A and B are shown apart, each in its own frame.
Chain A
Amino acid sequence: MALPQKESSPIFSDATAGTLRLIAYLALAAILMVLDHRNGWLHRVRYASAAAIVPIYKIAAAPADWVHDASTAFVERRKLIDENRQLQESLLLAQARLNRMDAVSQQNERLKQLLDTQHLLGLHAQLARLIDVQLGPTHDRVMLNVGADEGVHVGQVVIDSHGIMGQVIETLPHASIAMLVTDPDHAVPVMLARTGMRGIAHGTGEADQLVVPNLPLSSDIKPGDQWVTSGLGGRFPAGFPVGTVTKLEHGPSGMFLEALVKPAAQLARSGEVLLLRDQPDPVGPPAPAPQVGPPASLAPTTAHASPASPARLANPNPPKPATAASAGATP
């Protein structure tokens, strides 16, 4: 049964024409496929026509999105309950973790304050942590987690971000013991920040109190004044806060005033402390000046030049910083 076709060719019958056309198209398709397979045309064409094609994809994908939305909207109740329980569990876990992070961030804050102190003062210092706090009426001493192997030596000053804490009195290979300013055996040469009056702050054995005895009755001092280290004695660098005057009393003899002082450092609280590396400048004559001039090997060996060199060496400074340091060591 032949199709009635209007534009039938006189030469070819319908069927032949159709077959020929089909063969032509098949050949074209085959050529296209081979070329595409070899050269990746399709990708290039798609790339060029992306602006037109992408919206079509979006439209085609829309029903799937709607189905997904609907399924989340009408999801089974039990699934929701399960999910809820799981979420609550993970919330608990997360909160626990968060609490721990809180502690860590507070610690971070403290460490940053310490670092700031260090930078502010331009000090070389070593960070240390308290291992064991031994506060008591007889000994106010703490153990630090660094020792001789880390470069700690006896006499180093311990500070925190608020002020002087004490000094190292004993070193172990990986730990050291520091005496706090509140120890009854401890004393710091201090200076009143406002007037410059000198004094010596002794520990009292009580955790939060120092005493500066033997102040003249006529001295200009009032509660709230701040004591700082005076730098005398050479052990403590000058200018570190030591404490604030809380109360003035008459001494046992009645001839002098006694200032009760609250330590500036947070002795009971500090978890991290700084050990000052560089000792203060020793009191005493300065260190010998370095030799200036050309080295001795370049000196002319002729007879007329030789009197010059003894003249240059004639003024040696007597080096005795060690005695000065040891003189100031005992508080």
Chain B
Amino acid sequence: MNRMRAQGWAFWIGIVLALLLMLMPLPTMIQPLKPYWPALVLIYWALESGDRVGIGMAFCIGLAADLLNGALLGDQALRLAVLVFIVLRFRSRLRFFPMWQQALAVWLLLLNNHVLQALIRAFAGVPAMPALSWLAPAVGAAIWPFVFLLFDDVNTRVRGKGAKSA
């Protein structure tokens, strides 16, 4: 129980950090290259503990992100729900991929996410995203190993401490 709670803290802190990173302004040159942090965090936790992250939670987090981003309410909710759905569907296979294959899978997931975003924006009549932003999924994939290792480290520590105190 304690372990679960500690893990929950880690999860929510990760989500909050991801949202903050999403909002954080960057120099305009590299702004389009910013990886989609909430997706990376959700992918990790969906892979790590499938029963913690469901489609509903992804939807709610997406709504929160929409609220913060101020774009279109439901946009990120839809995308994150789709993303988590796919990850959960292939979870058992993805978990045991070697790192480079995992990164490739993450790239595909993010690319899919990006295509969805482009479609939604097209339907909503919002101006199209800059061409450079199509590289953002690749950046996300390149970052993925580090994100994975970082979260894994935190996760094992939290779990170990939780187990010890329990």
Contact = CB atoms under 8 A, between A and B. Distances in A.
Interface of A: 1, 3, 5-6, 15, 18-19, 21-22, 25-26, 28-33, 35-37, 41-43, 45-46, 49, 53, 56-57, 59-61, 63-64
A42 B20 contact: no
B92 A3 contact: yes
24 contacts: A18-B85, A18-B89, A21-B85, A22-B82, A25-B55, A25-B81, A26-B78, A29-B62, A29-B75, A29-B78, A29-B81, A30-B74, A30-B78, A32-B73, A32-B77, A45-B67, A49-B67, A56-B23, A60-B19, A61-B23, A61-B24, A61-B25, A63-B24, A64-B24
Nearest to B74: A32
Contact of A46 (B70, B77, B88, B89): B70
Nearest to A2: B92
B93 interface: yes
B68 A42 contact: no
B56 interface: yes
Contacts of A33: 72-75, 78, 120, 124
B148 interface: no
Contacts of A59: 20
B48 interface: no
Secondary structure of the B contact surface, majority rule: helix
Given A29-B59, A60-B23, A37 B72 contact: yes
B124 A37 contact: yes
A33 B126 CA distance: 13
Given A29-B59, A33-B124, A36-B74, 13 more contacts: A22-B85, A25-B56, A25-B77, A28-B59, A29-B62, A33-B74, A33-B78, A37-B72, A42-B72, A46-B70, A53-B67, A59-B20, A64-B25
Contacts of A64: 24-26
A143 to B, nearest CB: 65
A6 B26 CA distance: 44
Nearest to B23: A60
A63 B21 CA distance: 10
A56 B124 contact: no
Contacts of B74: 28-33, 36
Interface in B21-59: 21-26, 50-51, 54-56, 59
Interface in B57-116: 59, 62-63, 66-68, 70-75, 77-78, 81-82, 85, 88-89, 91-93
